[in-house]
Amino acid sequence: MSGHLLTVERIEDLTPRMRRVHFGGPGVAGYVHAGPHLPNVKLYFPVPGRPLDLPERGERGWAWAPGQRERVRTYTVRSLAADAASMAVDFVRHSGPSVAASWAETAAPGDQIAALAGGGAVAGDAHWILLAGDETALPAIAGTLERCGPRQRGLALIEVAGPEEEQDLYVPKGVELRWLHRRGAEAGTTTLLSDALAAVEYPPAELASGQVQVWVSAESAVVRFARSDLKRRGFDRRQQLIIGYWNRGINEVAYGRATDHDRVDGELDTILPGQDHTRKQASGNGR
């Protein structure tokens, strides 16, 4: 078998624009047992109305049939049950033609997709952290906050459509969470996050001791701004993890090819246990 089958068990609308899909089945256990360092998953979606046509894994990696590579999308593993029985992924319900969001719109219990691979990196440890992103990064920010110790300090900036999109997140006492509302503007069209990033006052003591980490994931324009802002401020690259999660106007595959925004193809080379031609677990695939 190539890819781990994920079966929809339950759909939960967290907010009007955020849909959580709970997956179950043996594919989840296969994914879970791949190791603890897979914050992101490469999901493979069927052509609407057709059965799931899993791509094959050959000696040289994935052997894509025409159109298959175009149906892979990257998502954050929002949660994994400790007993490896279920896995949740939060889908932003954006409009327009798409692969993943359209699938999530009509998904129902029993539907199947596949997890092909996974990878990625999480925010590094530091006394003070900045986490910033739009709703596509909300699942990753929420998970990062949950992994923080109670004494963590820092700031989280999350851009969403409006107050109805705010989620009740765990936030350590020393971390300030600020929601930024687009108030009717379309996602990817405002400078809300960039303006908030430009205004951040990093704590001088932690800055001097290198105890600041910055994690930003959002639409590509915000990401470009974040990189130049940190460069201007003299940040070391090891203190930052800045990743374009989407690019307004182009789909994920085209974006990945155009900008190497998240080493999509590198992550697809990860070999998960149970997949054909598994010889050894690929390592160091993350960003």
Footprint on this chain of ligand FAD (rule: CB under 6 A): 40, 73-76, 90-92, 94, 96, 98-101, 120, 136, 139, 187-188, 243, 245-252, 262
Q: Of 128 and 143, which CB lies nearer to ligand FAD in the complex structure?
A: 143
Give the nearest distance from C-beta 169 to ligand FAD in angstroms. 14
Shortest reach from residue 258's CB to ligand FAD, in Å: 12
> What are 219's strand-pairing partners?
246
Q: Quick count: other Cβ atoms within 10 Å of Cβ 281?
A: 12
Q: Which is nearer to ligand FAD, 128 or 261 (CB)?
A: 261
Query: In terms of C-beta density within 10 A (0-12 exposed, 13-18 middle, 19 or more buried), how is residue 231 classed?
Result: exposed
Helix, strand, coil tally for the chain in percent (to 5):
25, 30, 45
Nearer residue to ligand FAD within complex by CB, 183 or 233: 183
Contact indicator for 51, 44 with CB cutoff of 8 Å: no
**DSSP H or E segment with residue 178:** strand 174-181
Q: Which is nearer to ligand FAD, 119 or 128 (CB)?
A: 119
> How far, in whole angstroms, is CA 95 from its chain's centroid?
19
One DSSP character per residue, 257-269 reads HHH-SS-HHHHHT
Specify the DSSP element, H or E, that contains 142: helix 138-147
Q: How far is the CB of 278 from ligand FAD (least distance, A)?
A: 24
CB of 263 to ligand FAD, least distance (A): 10
Bridge partners of 91? 19
Q: Residue-wise over 97-115: b if at least 16 C-beta within 10 A, else e?
A: ebbbbbbbeebeeebbbbb
* Residue with smaller CB distance to ligand FAD, 6 or 128: 6
Count of residues making up the chain: 287
Measured CA to CA, the distance from residue 121 to residue 40 in angstroms comes to 8
Nearer to ligand FAD, 119 or 154 (CB): 119
In terms of CB distance, is 2 or 136 closer to ligand FAD?
136
Q: For residue 224, give the 3-state DSSP assignment.
A: helix
Give the shortest CB-151-to-ligand FAD separation in angstroms.
27
Token code pair at residue 130: 């900045």
Report, in Å, the least distance between residue 222 CB and ligand FAD: 12
In angstroms, what is the minimal distance from the CB of 102 to ligand FAD?
Answer: 7
